Structure formats: structure tokens, C-alpha cells
Amino acid sequence: MRQYWRLDDAGWTLVLAGGEGLAEALYLGPRLPDGEDLAALDALSRRDVTGGMLDENPPLSLCPEARRSFPGQPGMVAYGADGALLAPVWAFERSEEYEEDRLALHYRAERLRLSFHFAVTYAGVLTAETALTSDAPIRLHWLAAPVLPVSGVYDDLIDTNGRWIGEFQLNRKPITPGIIQREARNGRSGHEHPPLAFLAGHGANNNSGQVLGLHYDWSGGHRMVLEELPDGRRQIQFGHTTGSEPVGTEFTTEKLSIAVSQSGLNGAGIAFQRQIRAALPPFRKPRPVHYNCWEAIYFDHDLASLKEIANRAADLGAERFVLDDGWFGKRDDDTSSLGDWDIDHRKWPDGLSPLIDHVQSLGMGFGLWFEPEMINESSDLYRAHPDWVLGPGDQITGRQQLCLDMSKPEVRRYLFDKISAVLSAHDIDYIKWDHNRLLPHPDAAQTRGIYALLDDLRAAFPEVEIESCASGGGRIDAGILTRCNRVWLSDSNDALERLRIQHDAALFLPGVATGSHVGPRVCHTSGRTLPMRLRAWVAAQRHMGFEMDPRELTEDEAATLKEVTAWWKANRDWMAEADILRLDADDPSVIAELQLAENGQRFVVFAGQAATSTQILPRPLRLAGLDPDARYEITLLPETNPLSRGKLALTDGSLTPTGQALMTAGITLPARFPETISIIEGTRL
């Protein structure tokens, strides 16, 4: 007998249908009316057969089966102890439904059990997981989170790729027959392929059209398969990169998070921002302005200079001082000492306390850098425990370093003890947790080990916030963001590049968890010199901080930075809960976003003029997410525009248009130089 199950949120419906064998997702799309006839929906979805086909269409189930002649990639590939491919005959066992927002389906086969779990979370995101258990050990090659059909509504895949200092690049490509397989094989969620994808409906853009957003909550490698079958059906699968094919009796995928939007990419992006924000570990409020000394002094630690830097940082408005790499072992450059987490008494003869006391006397908290999962061959730890290294002895190093095998309890114990000793002996409220090399091979046990260590440290030091950094944005995913409060989005503090990276990362990342700093005048990753006004406002779009040597600032630069920092402090509370909407600028040289308060009462627009426009005058910028019937008072913050010689209402004072006018007619900004940014504040009247 065929059964139906239904999960709903305000904007979408999932319908599952199944009989004796594995169920399939019959429908995932815009919300269906209550009382929809699911049997009729099922009947409507039945497909014909024709020549050159099997006599029935093999089901595109929650775990498509090769045994049933499914013509695409199967949802599970596993081998028994004898090496034979498993071809279980699944039989429905039971379903569990809880409080209308959770559902589990359970199946049984000879010596195996398979379950699919679905839940509707806060923010209207659907999560889905698969669990497989066996009575005897099996070898797992692939297990997908519940496999979803992809409706023909979706034309394009918006794929995410990136690189060091070039995170979160979006690639839009048509979905065509065959497979698009993306795999992050470097062991981290990675710069290269963050575990995130969007399927865009006909003509979908930031603010309109149907979009299916997906992300996989896992900090290790993942694989995504998007496949259009010869019969026209399409499927999407997400799961771990298995690497060494684990042998065991229990396997689960991580959660696949799914957002269905009918309001373009922003609908999915906002749902993900809210989901991630709600799952962050507790953190200090208001969010303190950071100062991080890395780009000021690198490994050159000197108490007198750092005290002077701290004085100036505090004067600019910093509220937390983070001492970066170089305080431990004999770490004078990046060739040694990872693993030796004892204070370097050559640089710090009286320990870190003199700096911490000074920083605290200025009213700032203190944070410290670690890179726990790594080891240099030039370290006491390596000399004592060469066997703690992950991977083969002849592997290629990365930044002259190797990874510790985090699946080993003795490695985790060592790191826990070392980090705890430093945290217990000092008043430290923040860790910048770095991870600067790719794994020698993908390894899920490594990620589990890291999670275990982070969980243990968080339990022992609940007051200490943790930032995830991996050469900038090499480990940004929903798994790490339930253990860390903030990510270091990129090692690029070039404000123009940051403007773009922040814009695209906002499809997923909430502002409150996204670190953004004002770097040195000459950017160390691009060599570019950009005006302080742009640098400061780009940092003020997210969790603000400074990273330059403040001794290099001119009076004018310091005054601008102080002013923007004061603005950020006055606005940080509501911005910490705000939704970020990417605006569809008609001008490709404009990168603009609107941050809308949770209660809809206020907003701010950051409109970056990243390059010179093709046309001579700015095109109107249409806003998004506002109440069409409400009136808003809008004000352009003062800016200097030598190119502007007309008379614009906005530069003369505030205006009070309706949300509808702002969203359909838009705002006309003055003619601007490239590499500038305009800030528009809005208040609902």
C-alpha cells in the first residue's frame, strides 16, 4: 500500500511517497494548499514509458538503487566483508512523525537498516539526514543524505568555488543532461568548493524567481552530484568524501540543509543566515570591535611595540585585542614550532601577562591565536611523536607543515592539555583557531576528531569564543559554525575584493559571524592602496575590526576610521540580528546590499562603486525586502563627490518615499569616483 507523508513550512511543502520499497520525494516546492490530494499528486507525477526503456521507470527514491536498475548514480555504494557489492532488498518498517515538524522513515533489509530523517528548523530550513546500520562490518564507499529530485523549474546551478584570498566565487551554469560532480577532496570544507549550491529557476536573480538552496553541514570533504538522467528526471545528492572508505557498522550523513525560495537567491540566503545565526554558540554582546596584530607585526613580537599598538587601537575604538601567530615555541617564521604550545620566553620573558594586563587596562578583552591541528617537523612535538602525523611519511608539506592525526585520542588529549594550560593561566576570552594546510587525503575521522576537541574545550571554557580561520575562509560551513562564533572570511583585506567576497558569502553567512578588518594602507595580498573611507565602511558591513599597524595612520585616516567605528558601535546591535539582502544592481560595477532589521523598522544600504561604470551617470539602485506600503525616511551619509555637479534631492536632505517606490523606482546616487561607497540609512515611519 502506498503511503504519503507531508512536511510544510510557510513557503514550501515536501511530500514523500512510498510503498514496500524506499520512499521518494514526490514534491519539494512552493507550499501546497492544506488538504491537497496527495494520491492525485502522485498519479499526476507518474511518467510514461516508451521505446528503448525498461518497462517501468526505476524509482528516484531517497536512496536510488542500482539493484533496481536506476540509470543514474546510486545513493549508497557499500561492500560486505567478502568484498561483494551490497544490493539490499529494502522493506518499509515504520515511520515516526513528531509535532508536524519532524519525520523519520525506517527500512530494513537482510542484516541492514536504513533511516531517513527530516526536520523543519527555525528559519524555515528543511534538514535531511540518512543513517545506515549493519549487523556486521561493511565497507562504505558512498552514502548520500536523502536524495532529492530536481524540478524542471530550475535551469541553472549556481555553484560555489574559490581560492585563497578569493573565497565564495559564484559560477552559474546550465543544468544539462549528464552529471555535474563537485568534490572537495582537500579534507576541509575548503576555499575550493564550500559545501553550498543553489539551483535557480527561470530568470531567477537576487530578489525574484524560484531558488533551491542547499548546504551540507560538514567541515571535511564533501561530494555533490547533480545529474540529469536520460529520461529527463534530475537528482541531487550530497554526502561525505569518503577518502579511505570506512569499515564499520554505523554510518550517518551530516545534515543537508535545504531552503526553497520564491523570492530569488535572497529568500534562500536569508533562511540560511538565520539558521546559522540561531545555531552559533553563545557570544559576548555587544560584539566587540577587534584589533588583530597579524598584518601589523607578523612574527616580530615585542612588548613595547605591542603596547603602543594596543593604545592606538583602543583609541580608535577597539574592544578586543588578538595576539596572532608567533608567541609560542621558537616561531620566528612559518617554518617551525607548530605543536609546541608553550610561551616563547625569548620574546615574552615575563609571559603574556604584561601584554594582557595592559590590554585589559585599556578596556579591551584579549584573544590568542592557535593552530592546534598542525605540526612542523622542526618542533619538539614532532621529534617526540613523529607517529602522530596524519598521512604518509613522504607526503608533500603545506606551508612547511603537516597535520596531526586528530582521530587519535592521545593527540586530542595533548592538545586539550596544552590549550587548557594557556587558557587557565591567563584571562583570555577568544581563540583564533587557524588551519593552514590541506589534508594529505580526505578523512572524515579527522573532522570528527576536530569536532571532539572543540566540543571538549568549549565545555571546559564556555566563556571563550572561537573564530574559525583556515588561511582565511578555508573552513566555513554550518558544521564549524555550531562550534565557532565567527569566521575569518578571507586573508584578503583589500576592501574591493572583500566587498565582493562578503557579498557572495552572504548567500549563507550572517553578518554577525563574519569577521571583516581594516588592513594596512598598502594591502598585503593585492599591493593596492585604497582610501580609508572605503576600507572602513567595508569592514563595518560585518563584524568589524582593524588589522593594520595603527602607527601608520595619518590624522585624517584615524579620524575617518574612528567615525565609522563609532557608527558601527551605534548600529551593531540591530545589525547583529539583521538579514542581508543582496541587491540586483543594474550596473555591474556596483556591489550593493541592504541590511534589514529583524523588526523591519530600519535598514542600511551599502552601495559600493567597485569600478568605473560604462555609462556616465549612476543607474537607480532598486532596494529589496521592504514593506511596499510603508514610508521610509532615507538619508545618504555625507560623502565627497568631485564628479558630481548636479543637484540631487538626497544630497540635500532626507526623503520619505514608500517601500514600493524604493523597490521599483530605486534610489539615484550622485556621480561617484570608482573605489568609493555610499551609505544610505532608512527608518520606517
Q: Which residues are catalytic, by number?
A: 434, 491
Q: Binding segment for ligand DGJ among 56-64, 468-476, 583-591, 625-633 (CB under 6 A)?
A: 468-476
How far apart, in whole angstroms, are the C-alpha atoms of residue 429 and residue 506? 27
How near is the Cβ of 534 to ligand DGJ at its closest, in Å? 21
Using CB under 6 A, pick the residue from 472, 519, 618, 682 that binds ligand DGJ.
472
Angle, helices 303-316/555-575, rounded to nearest 10 degrees: 60
Q: Binding segment for ligand DGJ among 119-127, 283-291, 467-475, 519-527 (CB under 6 A)?
A: 467-475
Q: Is 469 in the site for ligand DGJ (CB under 6 A)?
A: yes
- Which residue number, 327 or 369, has a Cβ lying nearer to ligand DGJ? 369
Q: Are 614 and 586 in contact (CB under 8 A)?
A: no
How near is the Cβ of 215 to ligand DGJ at its closest, in Å? 22
Q: Is 440 in the site for ligand DGJ (CB under 6 A)?
A: no
- Tell how strand 112-120 and strand 76-79 pair up: unpaired
Using CB under 6 A, pick the residue from 167, 434, 477, 494 that binds ligand DGJ.
434
How near is the Cβ of 340 to ligand DGJ at its closest, in Å? 15
Using CB under 6 A, pick the residue from 27, 370, 488, 508 that binds ligand DGJ.
488
Binding mask 112-141 for ligand DGJ (x = CB under 6 A): ------------------------------
* Number of residues counted as binding ligand DGJ (CB under 6 A): 11
- Which residue number, 237 or 436, has a Cβ lying nearer to ligand DGJ? 436
How near is the Cβ of 434 to ligand DGJ at its closest, in Å? 5
Q: Is 549 in the site for ligand DGJ (CB under 6 A)?
A: no
Burial string for 129-164 (b: 16+ CB within 10 Å, else e) reads: bbbbebeeebbbebbbbbbbbbeebbbbbbbbbbeb
Return the amino acid letter for 226.
L
How far apart, in whole angstroms, are the C-alpha atoms of residue 193 and residue 159? 8
Return the amino acid letter for 562.
K
CA triple 292-373-378, angle to 5 deg: 90
How near is the Cβ of 527 to ligand DGJ at its closest, in Å? 18
Q: How many CA within 13 A on the CB side of residue 531?
A: 16
Q: Binding segment for ligand DGJ among 151-159, 210-218, 376-384, 465-473 (CB under 6 A)?
A: 465-473
Using CB under 6 A, pick the residue from 217, 325, 549, 579 that binds ligand DGJ.
325
How near is the Cβ of 350 to ligand DGJ at its closest, in Å? 24
How near is the Cβ of 435 to ligand DGJ at its closest, in Å? 9
How far apart, in whole angstroms, are the C-alpha atoms of residue 421 and residue 400? 26
Closest CA to 107 of 126, 127, 88: 88
How near is the Cβ of 399 to ligand DGJ at its closest, in Å? 8
How near is the Cβ of 490 to ligand DGJ at its closest, in Å? 8
How far apart, in whole angstroms, are the C-alpha atoms of residue 129 and residue 424? 38
Using CB under 6 A, pick the residue from 324, 405, 549, 557 that binds ligand DGJ.
324
Strands, E assignment, 294-407: 320-323, 365-370, 374-376, 401-403
- Which residue number, 347 or 622, has a Cβ lying nearer to ligand DGJ? 347
Residues whose CB is less than 8 angstroms from the CB of residue 33 and which lie 6 or more positions away in sequence, other chains included: none
How near is the Cβ of 474 to ligand DGJ at its closest, in Å? 8
How near is the Cβ of 294 to ligand DGJ at its closest, in Å? 5
Residues whose CB is less than 8 angstroms from the CB of residue 199 and which lie 6 or more positions away in sequence, other chains included: 150, 154, 156, 157, 158, 175, 211, 212, 214, 226, 236
- Which residue number, 255 or 301, has a Cβ lying nearer to ligand DGJ? 301
- Which residue number, 331 or 672, has a Cβ lying nearer to ligand DGJ? 331
How far apart, in whole angstroms, are the C-alpha atoms of residue 567 and residue 143? 49
- Which residue number, 192 or 324, has a Cβ lying nearer to ligand DGJ? 324
How far apart, in whole angstroms, are the C-alpha atoms of residue 36 and residue 617? 52
Using CB under 6 A, pick the residue from 491, 549, 557, 593 that binds ligand DGJ.
491
Q: Would you state the cell numbers that stand for residue 304, as one nine-digit string?
A: 613595547
Q: How far is CA 316 from CA 277, 312, 549, 557, 574, in A?
A: 28, 6, 12, 10, 22
Q: How many CA within 13 A on the CB side of residue 387?
A: 3
Residue 358, classed as helix, strand or coil, is: helix
Closest CA to 470 of 201, 163, 82, 112: 163
Does the CA dihedral 654-655-659-664 come out positive or negative? negative
Report CA 544 to chain centroid distance, whole Å. 18
Q: Is 388 in the site for ligand DGJ (CB under 6 A)?
A: no
CA triple 547-549-551, angle to 5 deg: 145
Q: Is 401 in the site for ligand DGJ (CB under 6 A)?
A: no
Binding mask 353-382 for ligand DGJ (x = CB under 6 A): ----------------x-------------
- Which residue number, 165 or 499, has a Cβ lying nearer to ligand DGJ? 165
Q: Binding segment for ligand DGJ among 82-90, 180-188, 385-393, 469-477 (CB under 6 A)?
A: 469-477
Report which residue's Cβ sits closest to ligand DGJ. 325
Q: Is 436 in the site for ligand DGJ (CB under 6 A)?
A: yes
How far apart, in whole angstroms, are the C-alpha atoms of residue 570 and residue 585? 28
Binding mask 501-520 for ligand DGJ (x = CB under 6 A): --------------------
- Which residue number, 12 or 294, has a Cβ lying nearer to ligand DGJ? 294
Residues whose CB is less than 8 angstroms from the CB of residue 84 and which lie 6 or more positions away in sequence, other chains included: none
How near is the Cβ of 290 to ligand DGJ at its closest, in Å? 12
Q: Is 471 in the site for ligand DGJ (CB under 6 A)?
A: yes
- Which residue number, 217 or 371, has a Cβ lying nearer to ligand DGJ? 371
The number of helix segments (H) and strand segments (E) in the chain equals 13, 33
Q: Binding segment for ligand DGJ among 4-12, 107-115, 464-472, 536-544 (CB under 6 A)?
A: 464-472
Q: How many CB atoms lie within 10 A of CB 8?
A: 17
- Which residue number, 61 or 468, has a Cβ lying nearer to ligand DGJ? 468
Closest CA to 259 of 353, 156, 122: 122
Residue 515, classed as helix, strand or coil, is: strand
- Which residue number, 13 or 436, has a Cβ lying nearer to ligand DGJ? 436
Q: Binding segment for ligand DGJ among 240-248, 351-359, 466-474, 548-556 (CB under 6 A)?
A: 466-474
Name the site residues for ligand DGJ (rule: CB under 6 A). 294, 324-325, 369, 434, 436, 469, 471-472, 488, 491
